[in-house]
Amino acid sequence: MSSGHVLPTRTRCDRTPAWAQLQAHFEGAGRGFDLRGAFAAEPERFERLSLQAPHVFADLSKNLIDAPAEALLLQLARETGLEAYRDAMFAGAAINHTEQRAVMHWLLRNPAPALDVPGHAATKNVAGALAEGLQDVHATLDAMLQLAERVRADDAITDVVNIGIGGSDLGPSMAVKALEELCHPGKRMHFVSNVDGMELGRVLRQLKPESTLFLVASKTFTTAETMSNAHAARDWFIAHGGSDDRAAPLSLSRHFYALTTNVEAAAKFGIDTTLGFWDWVGGRYSLWSAIGLPIAIAIGAEHFRALLAGAHAMDEHFRTAPLERNLPVRLGLLDVWYRNFHGFTSRSVAPYSHGLRRLPAYLQQLEMESNGKGVDAQGQRLPFATSPVVWGEPGTNGQHAFFQMIHQGTDVIPVEFIALRQGGADLPAQHPRLLANALAQARALMLGKDSEDGHRHFTGNRPSTFLLLDRLEPAALGALIALYEHRVFVTGAIWGINSFDQWGVELGKVLAKDLEPRLASGDVQGLDASTAGLMRRLMPQG
């Protein structure tokens, strides 16, 4: 479904007046900017550079940015046509133009049409074909949540195994870990993604077929890793007394569900219960759709709806807040400033929350698969850099691993701290210690420390952003994820790229298909010398 909305004209960032002005400002004042001096000169800096978005408070004041750079970046956003492009996404235009698809993961969290009351923002943001789509979305959501509640109530099912990869794994797996305190105590949730048999093998060894539900999660239902694991799980199920026969007491039909847009392929696999979704939901934006079933099973329908509501609140913020106070816009502009003017090549994400330990992995796909592009929307090679490397580990663990480099290494790496005002239920006395560490790291990075001994000298002036949630509950998590989704939209819009395709993953898939039979046959003909040499070493010894 797409609304038929005409695609707006976009101006690539390097062709705007603001781009050249930013370059000049960077050379004049940006390169030598000093955070400590900026705080000394402007006592209101924290107030001016912090903002509250739904569920997320952000302190941007410890970033290498002054008021003229901010103004120029906002000018850049306007000159590239960011607002019209954002509105086109919310109007259902086919902005994923290389695949002729609309980009409407946001519709999945829009309140149901029946809940629309006059004056409520939701009434204004969907019309025509989209309103029909929204009804469809809610019919599917209701069915999914009913199914989730049935599984939750079924004491015979103790283990749920999600088999999926990329967007069909990372989002649900991250969210289930984040919301662990709300998870059903009688359901063990497993996530299997890798085609390395060690992962599925280890999970299967803990299971009994009669108490296990497998969820085969794949938007396309063709992804090699997922299909391989799904077939292996089915073989295991049959080998342990399961049956293809729907009437059998241990039937495949009762123990395998599919979450996919490819309902036909799921039926061919032998699955009767399929939750569908739509091609306008990108894989890495799909945890709000049927792909979210494992989350709904783990936390229940009410909490899943709260997750959607938090994300919707952030959608509305992104859609309506003025650019100056629009958090996804402000973060995206900072990313452009750092990547294209300072030349920083990576950004480290440091959630000071064990619950958010998989957030960096999730963000790697979201950001790098979306914005790791080398050509613009017209397919022209870009003369500037796009996605930074996004990486990280939860604090305080990272402090005892790679923070050495962030404090004293030769590269400047902006850090994104994420902290919770209120910690989890376990060992609450430790929470202030965790928070003190997050604050201390951000402060140390900024202030540095003079020493005549070079080894003990910290240059300081190292930037960081601090994101603060009240606590790790579904609405806040939903808002946080939507914040990142929209920030990726903003940078992609400014760079003039298509953030919603992923052609770069195709070539490796094709080559793997060619190499797998060669590993068995030993045929190295036509291969480069390195691959051939490695193949000879990897082939089973005769």
Contact residues for ligand F6P (CB under 6 A)?
165-168, 218-220, 223, 226, 283-284, 369, 502, 505
Contact 125, 90 (CB under 8 A): yes
User: Active site residue: 47, 509, 513, 516, which one?
Assistant: 509
Residue nearer to ligand F6P on the CB measure, 166 or 332: 166
Helices then strands, counting H and E runs in the chain, come out as: 22, 11
Residue nearer to ligand F6P on the CB measure, 97 or 342: 97
* Catalytic residue flag (residue 180): no
Smallest gap from Cβ 166 to ligand F6P, in A, equals 3
Strand ordering across the sheet containing 273-276: 188-192, 159-163, 212-217, 256-260, 273-276
Contact 88, 356 (CB under 8 A): no
Tokens representing 16 are: 């705007």
Strand partners, 415: 348, 464
Tokens representing 268 are: 């061919």
Residue nearer to ligand F6P on the CB measure, 284 or 358: 284
Residue nearer to ligand F6P on the CB measure, 171 or 474: 171
Contact 469, 351 (CB under 8 A): no
For residue 423, give Cα distances in angstroms to 53, 197, 433, 534. Answer: 20, 36, 11, 49
Smallest gap from Cβ 370 to ligand F6P, in A, equals 9
Smallest gap from Cβ 341 to ligand F6P, in A, equals 30
* Catalytic residue flag (residue 138): no
Smallest gap from Cβ 217 to ligand F6P, in A, equals 7
Residue nearer to ligand F6P on the CB measure, 166 or 300: 166
Smallest gap from Cβ 447 to ligand F6P, in A, equals 41
User: In whole angstroms, what is the distance from residue 129 CA to residue 93 CA?
Assistant: 11
Smallest gap from Cβ 64 to ligand F6P, in A, equals 33
Strand partners, 243: 251
Residue nearer to ligand F6P on the CB measure, 504 or 533: 504
The distance of Cα 32 from the centroid of its chain, to the nearest Å, equals 33
Residues in the chain: 542
Residue nearer to ligand F6P on the CB measure, 204 or 258: 258
User: In whole angstroms, what is the distance from residue 484 CA to residue 325 CA?
Assistant: 16
Smallest gap from Cβ 292 to ligand F6P, in A, equals 13
| Angle of helix 474-495 versus helix 67-80 axis, rounded to 10 | 70
For residue 105, give Cα distances in angstroms to 269, 286, 401, 506. Answer: 27, 7, 36, 23
Each as own residue / partner, the long-range contacts of residues 316-324 (CB below 8 Å, 24 or more positions apart, any chain) are: 316/54, 316/121, 316/125, 317/53, 317/54, 318/86, 318/482, 318/486, 319/86, 319/87, 319/90, 319/125, 320/121, 321/53, 323/74, 323/77, 323/78, 323/82, 323/83, 324/74
For residue 27, give Cα distances in angstroms to 74, 234, 461, 530. Answer: 19, 61, 17, 45
Residue nearer to ligand F6P on the CB measure, 110 or 168: 168
Tokens representing 498 are: 């298509």
Smallest gap from Cβ 461 to ligand F6P, in A, equals 38
* Catalytic residue flag (residue 369): yes
Residue nearer to ligand F6P on the CB measure, 218 or 464: 218
Tokens representing 50 are: 């912090």
Contact 357, 177 (CB under 8 A): yes
Smallest gap from Cβ 220 to ligand F6P, in A, equals 3
For residue 285, count other CB atoms closer than 10 A to its CB: 26
User: Active site residue: 124, 208, 268, 400, which one?
Assistant: 400
| Nearest C-alpha neighbor of 144 from the set 304, 275, 309 | 275
Residue nearer to ligand F6P on the CB measure, 166 or 478: 166
Smallest gap from Cβ 502 to ligand F6P, in A, equals 5
| Nearest C-alpha neighbor of 275 from the set 257, 253, 288 | 257
Query: Active-site residue numbers?
Result: 369, 400, 509
